[in-house]
Structure formats: structure tokens, C-alpha cells
Amino acid sequence: MNIYDIAKMAGVSIATVSRVVNGSDKVSEKTKRRVMEVIEKEGYTPNVFAQGLGLNTMHTAGILVPDISDLYMSSAISFLEEGLRNHGYNCILGCSGFRQESMAQHVQMLLSKKIDGLILVGSAYAGNGASERETDYIREAAAQVPVFVINGAVQGENVFSAVCGDREAMREVTRALLRRGRKRILFLTDSESYSAREKMAGYEEALTEAGRPALGELKLKLRNRIHATRDLLLQYRNLDFDAVVATDDGMAVGAVKYAAARGLSIPEDLNIVGYNNSSLAVACEPELTSIDNRTEEICRETVDLFMRTLRGETVPEKHFSVSCRIVKRNTTDF
């Protein structure tokens, strides 16, 4: 028996049960009696989540990422940890890898630590779109504590999602390249995650609007490694392209190195756009135009949502989106 069951039996939200348990005066007496009757009948003992920010809370958040070496994920961890620490919360960090079985196991490991809430960083946790069953383990975890997914949309009771406008940003940057006369735009990705699918959709929509086919030969999936990207592109001697859009700065920098190896001039011969606006974008030469997915803002909003949820407050939106922005540097001429 958990807070999710109590809420369902009483016909109220989880937040309402939390308010009742915490003695909030924001619940009507009628609703409070109904919830308490179910609690007493079922012999329910509130866990640390139900206690919200009461004396029994562990003041601990679980943070799970697939790959801590990834620049986007490590940055997100830093922003989240700082924000939670400012609210008096400690963090337990896990690194799950990308296999679904391992993700589910790591979620259970963090739940066993009696965390107050769980934050999953990365669109890999939202699955590859094959089936909703891919994310069942998240909904199961949300029956125990609130779960927050960053950079991926997952539906479910007590599940909260934060995404950036990947589709819109990639559509806009592809449009800009087309307006500058780029005819064969190469799309590079390293996954089939929720975020990667959104970026590809934006790329394809811009091409369709311009009356151009989204050619399969111009969509490559490869490892997100700088030299691996360079070497793979060098192997495709017969692949003609005059622009590159990548779903991560690492692959875009690999395209910059490919251009150098081929003696191509940037941006005259080849335009290149990366993603995440990471330190790699200013560490390469020429400096890389990149799409800023507003990691700090998403993390700040997620921490705020985390705290409001644990306090039992009504939140306006369970799922929110932050707009991206294009940071133009020297690898594009639009």
C-alpha cells in the first residue's frame, strides 16, 4: 500500500493526500475526512514522500544519468546538485548506462535508499518510441516517489517531464541553411532517443517545406566521438553534402576536423551546426555555431517543481518545455 493507492481509493490526487498527511489547511474538511477514512481503514503508514518536507523526510534526491562523462549530463548534474543543495537536499547519483534493464535496476537501487524524489537526466529514459512498455518502470517508481524526467516526455501519474524545443530549433536551423542555398544537408545523430527523434523530425519538416526529400543517405547514425565522426565521414568519399547538422557538439566538431582533412573551407564550402552549446563549441577552430538547449534553465525549473511537489502544492503544469536558441559563431554563414 502506497500513497498512489490511497489517492486512487479516495478519489483525489497524490498532492491532496500529501496535504492531508502534513496537516495542510488547504484541504476541505470533507475531503480530509474521506482521505483519513481510507488511511485508517487500510492501515497506511506514510512514507518519506507522503511526509513531504516534514520531520521524517530524508532530504535526499536521487539523480540518475546514463553516462556521466557526457558533457550535457555532467552539466545537468552540476546545476541540479547546486539547486537542491540550496534547498537543504543531498543527492545520491547513479549511472545506469543505456540498456533498459540496467536503467530499471538503477531506479530500484535509488528507491531502496529511501530518496524523497527521483530525477532522470537524458532522453534515453523516455524510450525509443517502440512501445509505452519501455517506460513502465518509471511509472512503477512514481507510485513510490515523484519522478522528474529531464529532456524526455513520459506520461504517468506522479511523473513530471521537462523538455526543450528540439524539433522547433532543428527545423529553424535547417530552414536557415536552405535559405542560404545549401542543398544537401547531412544529419548526424548517435541515438534514437526521444530528443534525437524530435531533432530529426524538425530537420525533415524543414526539408519537406522546401520541397526537398529527406534522403536516407544524408541521415547517419554514428558514435558521438570527434575522431570517429571525422574518420567515418572520410570513408564516405562519394557522399556529397554542403552542410552538416548534428545532434551533439562532439559530432559537429568531428565534421569540422573532416573539413580540415579534406581541405574544405568553412563556412564557404561547408556549413556546420552542433547541439548543446557546450565548451566544445568554443574550443574548436573555427568556433562552432550551436543550438543552446538551455540546460541550466531546465534544471532550475525542475528543482523548483521538485520542491513544490514535495510540499504538496498544486503545480500548474506537470510537463513543460523551454525554447532553444541558436548561438551563431563561425561555422555558418546564415
On the CB side of 126, CA atoms within 13 Å amount to 25
60-165+295-324 maps to CATH 3.40.50.2300: yes
Residue-level pLDDT, tens digit, the chain, 334 residues: 677 788 889 998 877 887 787 777 778 889 999 999 998 888 877 654 444 444 446 789 999 999 999 999 999 999 999 999 999 999 999 999 999 999 999 999 999 998 999 999 999 999 887 688 899 999 999 999 999 999 999 999 999 999 999 999 999 999 999 999 999 999 999 999 999 999 999 999 999 999 999 999 999 999 999 999 999 999 998 999 999 999 999 999 999 999 999 999 999 999 999 999 999 999 999 999 999 999 999 999 999 999 999 888 888 789 999 999 999 999 999 9
**Dihedral angle sign, alpha carbons of residues 92, 96, 100, 106:** negative
> Would you state the cell numbers that stand for residue 55, as one nine-digit string?
520531520
> Would you state the cell numbers that stand for residue 131, as one nine-digit string?
512501445
Q: Do 166-292 and 60-165+295-324 have the same topology in CATH? A: yes
- Domains in the chain: boundaries: 3-42, 60-165+295-324, 166-292
- Fold category of 3-42 in CATH: 434 Repressor (Amino-terminal Domain) (1.10.260)
Residue 48's SS3 state is coil
Q: Cα separation of 243 and 262, whole Å?
A: 14
From its phi and psi, is residue 127 left (phi > 0), alpha (psi between -120 and 50) or beta?
Answer: left
Q: How many CB atoms lie within 10 A of CB 279?
A: 11
Q: Which CATH architecture has domain 166-292?
A: 3-Layer(aba) Sandwich (3.40)
**Dihedral angle sign, alpha carbons of residues 27, 28, 31, 35:** positive
Q: Cα separation of 203 and 132, whole Å?
A: 25
